[in-house]
Each structure stands twice: as structure tokens, then as C-alpha cells.
Amino acid sequence: MSEREMEAKLLELDRLLNDPEVQMDPHRVWSLLQEISGASKATPRAA
């Protein structure tokens, strides 16, 4: 996953969790978390 894709997924996750005008979709939240966690394990970031 590219850095741009990762950033887009993190922004969507943030919107789902924190925007009161967006209806919570638990399935999408878990799906995003799974994608993000899998990508972070596959491509470790430099500190």
C-alpha cells in the first residue's frame, strides 16, 4: 500500500470515528483497521 493510500484510509477512519454527522459503520471501521495493520506489518516505517 502506498503512503497516499495509507493516509486516505487513516483519514476515512478518523472521519468514521470522530465526525458526528457521519453514521458509524462498524464493519468499515474494522475493515480499515485490518488493512492498515496489515500494511504496517508489511512495510515497516523508519523512525
Residue 9 located in a structural domain: yes
DSSP state of 23: P
What pLDDT, on a 0 to 100 scale, did the predictor assign at position 32? 95
What pLDDT, on a 0 to 100 scale, did the predictor assign at position 42? 56
What pLDDT, on a 0 to 100 scale, did the predictor assign at position 30? 96
Residue 47 located in a structural domain: no
Q: What is the pLDDT along the chain (47 residues), one digit of tens a residue?
A: 889 999 999 999 999 999 999 998 999 999 999 999 986 565 555 55
Residue 32 located in a structural domain: yes
Domain count, the chain: 1
Residue 37 located in a structural domain: yes
What pLDDT, on a 0 to 100 scale, did the predictor assign at position 38? 84
Residue 20 located in a structural domain: yes
Q: Is the dihedral of CA 33, 24, 27, 8 positive or negative?
A: negative
Cβ atoms of 12 and 32 within 8 Å: the answer is yes
At residue 43, φ and ψ (nearest 5 deg) are: -130, 85
How many whole angstroms separate alpha carbon 7 and alpha carbon 45?
Answer: 14
**Residue-number span of the structural domain to which 16 is assigned:** 3-41
Residue 23 located in a structural domain: yes
